[in-house]
Structure 1
Amino acid sequence: MTHLLEKMRVNNPLVHNMTNQVVANDVANGLLAMGASPVMAYAVEEVANIASISKALVLNIGTLTSAGVEAMMVAGIAANKADVPVVLDPVGVGASSYRQEKVREILAAVKVTLIRGNSGEIANLAEVEWQAKGVDAGQGKVSVSEMANKVAQRFNCIVAVSGEVDYITNGRESAEIRNGVSLMAQVTGMGCLLSGICGAFIACANKTEVIEAVITAHAAYGIVGEKAKQQSNGPGSFRVHFMDGLANLTVPQYQQHKKINRWEGVVK
């Protein structure tokens, strides 16, 4: 689905990000670099209007507040009414009972298109035993495919699990993406920006292409990470080269370096 990259850079889709305070600047700059047009609106008085005119809404609970949850639900309901796709990033959902409660409130009120998180976050939503600390991915005995499928079926959405190998499923078809580097885990907000990038790709897709858009976003993101690592000396310079890489990624580069394995169903 490489045409989605070209389409993004022509159409500059407006992506409404209700993201966390730690990463808002990088999310905005990363979306701009990729070719999208970010808006960061949080006030409950305006989020319904902004969400309804956007091409995608991204909800991120990284720095959660009661007012923020209220605004997210208002924005999400408005997006649903306007047929705007919604991405949920349940950052650190297992870190506290408060986060778990609020994520479930959001999911009860808002129909989401994609839930994107690490294995620990998805395990919490699947209600399976998992050892994780804060926003870390952690580890457990249940397979990623099993818990991702459980969440996808429960909320009737696409689920993307980021890690050494990214796993994506809608419960009917699945994919693994093996692009990316471990250095990405040493830079705060890489997952949050990926959620925004997923929103931008989904915004450029028609309704039959949504899972392809999520797969393309993950592969493209990983390819940029691989190139940035070759140019960097550590997390600081990696972050700079990564932003440049988002802007400079071409369709031929994507075609040459993508590492995608797809199949029907959940388990290969």
Structure 2
Amino acid sequence: MEIREKILTNLRAVKERTPLIHHITNYVTVNDCANIVLALGGSPVMADDQEEVAEMVGFASALVLNIGTLNSRTIESMLLAGKRAKELGVPVVLDPVGVGATHLRTNTARKLIQELNPDVIRGNMSEICVLAGEEVAIKGVDSLADEQNGAVIAQKLASSLKCVIAITGKTDVVSDGEQLCLLDNGHRILADVTGTGCMTSSLVGTYCGAAKDYFSAAIAGIATMGLAGEIAQASLRHGEGIGTFRARLFDSIYHLTPEQLAQESKVRHE
């Protein structure tokens, strides 16, 4: 099946199945992540207490782990939920926010990868470079790495970890170690809104919860955010800025059709 057809099929599957997506995520963007899942057609749950995470995973179609605001309690919850997800065959999506910025983030990301073997890891170029053992500069949780070798790094890391690696940036890169896809949707204004990366990981998780092909699910999630960003930005009028853009980003995803996503996604399957 050609990649555009898979993207179309994946969005149809989300709309039909309304997958429950369990998040253990950061408190900066938790509300946006919940709403972006709803906008796409999924159902979000944000449960992070150790007493219920394993049970909640039992009801979920996918688990999204985001290390944006780490603490010792949520780290343990991520490990408990992730191990239960792997027992049940529930896909795990890891967003290693700011990995490399501090020892806590780096050590936690590596422990989650080692113990949980995530199905998809989605990050910016700096974050993926850190996981790949590359030397990069980090500014808080923002990427300072260039994207020149993104395809090579994604492919090698995906092969090494036996998972899908998704790098978001000016040109997005998705690889499962064998296949490689480049995406060119999006607009630079997406970087001016806090949480668009986190929301993209939630979109990827939603697609993973509806389709078992996690490579095409990652592509669909990233393409959805990129295309919605283009649509939302194009709708702005004089005097409107990132606040209006943020609201219209949700609207654009809410109204996005499978056919529109497939036709307007700028996807290159290498």
Rounded to whole Å, the distance in 1 between the matches of 2:104 and 2:38 is 33
Question: Would you say the 8 A contact 1:130–1:141 is kept in 2?
Answer: no
CA distance in 1, matches of 2:17, 2:225: 20
- Aligned residue among 228, 234, 238 for 1:230: 234
Report if the CA contact (8 A) 2:185-2:265 is conserved: yes
Deviation at 1:141, TM superposition (A): 8.2
In structure 1, what is the equivalent of residue 261 of structure 2?
A: 254
Provide the alpha-carbon RMSD of the alignment.
1.2
Residue 3 of structure 2: aligned partner: none
Deviation by residue 1:179-219 (Cα, 9 ceiling, x = unmatched):
0110000000100011011011011113xx22111112211
The equivalent residue for 2:223 is: 219
Equivalent position amino acid for 2:35 in 1: N
SS at match of 1:57: strand
Mapped to 1, the partners of 2:44 and 2:107 lie a distance apart of 28
Within 5 A, what are the aligned runs for 1:133-212?
133-140=139-146, 143-206=149-212, 209-212=213-216
Q: Which of 84, 94, 97 is the equivalent residue of 2:90?
A: 84
In 2 relative to 1, CA 198–45 (structure 1 residues): closer, same or farther, beyond 3 Å? same
Q: In 2, Cα distance between the equivalents of 1:38 and 1:7?
A: 16
Uncovered stretches (5+) of structure 2, i.e. residues with no partner: 1-5
- Conserved? CA contact 1:94–1:134, under 8 Å: no
Q: CA deviation at 1:154?
A: 2.5
TM-score when scaled to structure 2? 0.94
Where in structure 1 are there 5+ consecutive unaligned residues?
A: 264-268
Is the 8 Å Cα contact of residues 67 and 95 (structure 2) preserved in structure 1?
yes
1:34-56 deviations in whole A, cap 9, x for unaligned?
10000000001100011122000
Please give the alpha-carbon distance, in whole angstroms, between the structure 1 residues aligned to 2:214 and 2:156. 19
> What secondary structure does 1:95 align onto?
coil
Q: Is the 8 A contact 2:22 2:47 kept in 1?
A: yes
| SS of alignment partner, residue 53 of structure 1 | coil
Query: Given that residues 92 and 135 in structure 1 are in contact (C-alpha distance below 8 angstroms), is that contact kept between their aligned partners in structure 2?
Result: yes
Which residue, out of 120, 124, 133, partners 2:130?
124
Amino acid at match of 1:249: L
Q: CA deviation at 1:19?
A: 0.8
State the alpha-carbon separation in 1 of the partners of residues 245 and 195 from structure 2. Answer: 13
Give the conservation status (yes or no) of the 8 Å contact 1:20–1:63: yes
Residue in structure 2 matching 1:241, options 236, 245, 248: 248
Aligned AA for 1:6?
R
SS at match of 2:58: helix
- Could you tell me how far 1:145 is from its partner in structure 2? 1.7
Q: Within 5 Å, which residues of 2 pair with 1:97-112?
A: 97-112=103-118
Structure 1 contact 19–58 (Cα < 8 Å) conserved: yes
CA contact (8 A) 2:159 2:178 kept: no
* Runs of 4+ in structure 1 over 6 Å off: none
Identity %: 39
Q: Which moved more, 1:225-234 or 1:29-38?
A: 225-234
What letter corresponds to residue 198 of structure 1 in structure 2? V
Q: Give secondary structure in 2 for the equivalent of 1:88.
A: strand
Asked if 2 retains the 8 angstrom alpha-carbon contact of 1:8 and 1:200, the reply is yes
Give 1:256 deviation, angstroms: 2.7
Q: How many residues align?
A: 261
CA displacement at 1:133 relative to structure 2: 1.0
Q: Distance in 2 between matches of 1:79 and 1:28?
A: 20
Which residue in the other structure is 1:58 paired with?
64
Preserved CA contact (<8 Å) 1:128 1:147 = no
Q: 1:164 to 1:69 in 2, by over 3 A?
A: same
